[in-house]
Amino acid sequence: MTDVLVRPASMSDLSAICAIEDDSFPSPYPRFLLQRLLQYHPETFLVAANEADLLVGYCVCSINDRTAHLISIAVQRNHRKRGVATALLDRLLAHLVERGVDEIWLEVSVNNREAIALYSKSGFARLNTIPTYYSNGSDALRMHLIITNAAAGLPRETDGNRS
Ligand SMILES: CC(C)(COP(=O)(O)OP(=O)(O)OC[C@H]1O[C@@H](n2cnc3c(N)ncnc32)[C@H](O)[C@@H]1OP(=O)(O)O)[C@@H](O)C(=O)NCCC(=O)NCCS
């Protein structure tokens, strides 16, 4: 496991986020779109920095009332398989608990074995496939998580009146 600090992103992180994005996806989001996402979702656009304060991953989700949607998550190639995405998701879910969000949805390519394993390990359930969801014609798997303290890795609430 890498020691990473997860924090809300700032505009000064944008170039590093774009570099992770370009390295991670065949059709990366352009810089202006990532900038918009950062403007619209400042509390739920998170970055992970390593010991040397280099950005090694990011995630972003939108919130609509009590429902969240994971828009993107990516980790720099040579920092994968060290728990960075898990740290990002844990922090995001903890924030969603604080915000009173009940559930989170996402879509992932049916061919993205690593990401499906990540989400399954984090408690997401597989729901249905969406044919030809992506521009390259591949299908998406829709996944869903009911958010609880346990899902966010937080201690359960206790009844303070019970002795
Ligand atoms: C998917 C991705 C974000 C995972 O990031 P990561 O930091 O490597 O993930 P973690 O180290 O936290 O791994 C958590 C779990 O995910 C699964 N996983 C991650 N990488 C995996 C791999 N290469 N093969 C199989 N399972 C994998 C495992 O279950 C792992 O738990 P384990 O280490 O106990 O086996 C990363 O591979 C990535 O950036 N991919 C490109 C972008 C992308 O596809 N994003 C998702 C879009 S929907």
Residue 152 domain-assigned? no
| Ligand 1 nearest-atom number relative to CA 87 | 12
Please name the residue whose Cα sits nearest to atom 40 of ligand 1.
Answer: 74
pLDDT per residue over 123-132, tens digit each? 999 999 999 9
Question: Which CATH number covers residue 43?
Answer: 3.40.630.30
Phi, psi of 78 (to 5 degrees): -85, 10
Residue 157 domain-assigned? no
Distance 158 CA to ligand 1 centre (A): 33
pTM: 0.93
pLDDT per residue over 133-156, tens digit each? 998 899 999 999 999 866 777 765
Residue 153 domain-assigned? no
Q: Is the CB of 74 under 6 A from ligand 1?
A: yes
Report the domain count for the chain: 1
Residue 156 domain-assigned? no
Instruction: Provide the residue range defining the domain that includes 20.
Output: 5-146
End-to-end CA distance of the chain: 38
Q: What is the pLDDT of residue 152?
A: 72
Q: Is the CB of 81 under 6 A from ligand 1?
A: yes
Please, what is the average pLDDT of the chain?
Answer: 92
Q: Is the CB of 28 under 6 A from ligand 1?
A: no
Residue 28 domain-assigned? yes
Residue 40 domain-assigned? yes
Residue 158 domain-assigned? no
Distance 43 CA to ligand 1 centre (A): 23
